[in-house]
Structure 1
């Protein structure tokens, strides 16, 4: 995604022959600006098979601070994502800040498999809900998802993984974000050589 890129440059120093595939730019955010040393050799990800057993697919309709690809490993039934799924944390494996943050942003529960409000609001304000839900439906219909590995929570998530993934995003149809529709929910991009914030990105729509 456009957000999960930290340490990529350091990783490439350890594995100089590795191919770098990254998400295309969206809403004024571009990984080429964040990692200029890799820009000439990086390959923009596209939907399709990276390997006979591994498929990549863009989660369409959620470009702002995301534009994320989901990956599906067919033999194991494992879906791999960053911010497209938040499966919750188990007791005893979280810091106080994690518990506080996700209680505030996930309707009072850091344990629940639920998207934080800033993920869903950005789809409402700068994305496209029907497009996103159609993308989610296609993943759940065509992939036999048994487990989900994700960035924020206790891995793996195994409890009705496909159904839960779909329910998390279908919460968009239940939420009223009218009071937040005029609020800028974006994280402002910066370049590697310019610490000051860039001008506000143009709306996606």
Structure 2
């Protein structure tokens, strides 16, 4: 009896862990490239339209960060819902890749100038928010709010056209991938013809 009592005491007691509530999560497709079926196009069009409507001049003044270009505002519109703490819509994670591309050129090469400007704006916003000055975080919140409002009715180009435009502008924006710097479209086609 003594031995049975000791064995019972030595057994680890199992606590009933409360079940974790179902949290939003990303379900990634089985392919690497970003396809139109991976993106909720009305959200993407809303992001692009909100960025165009705000305009780089107004947005730069609002953020008090000089030199923020139109393409950076578009990148900020795509990441704004993540930055200011709004509930993210996880049904189309491919949309976020259109903010800064990918190092393997999918969906397009990383535009380093845009990437650096975006990081500068976000660093500034976070640093000022820590000091109790949340104007920049508020600006990102308003940009996201505007994106969500206009996405209900705005239309725009197809994903293929958007990505083609990014490739066309890549050399101007410091486009880079693991394959190197992006050349101007005329130079790239001339180099391909020489190799052929």
Q: Give the structure-2-normalised TM-score.
A: 0.29
Structure with the larger helix share:
2
Higher relative contact order (CA 8 A, sep 6+): 2
Structure with the larger strand share:
1
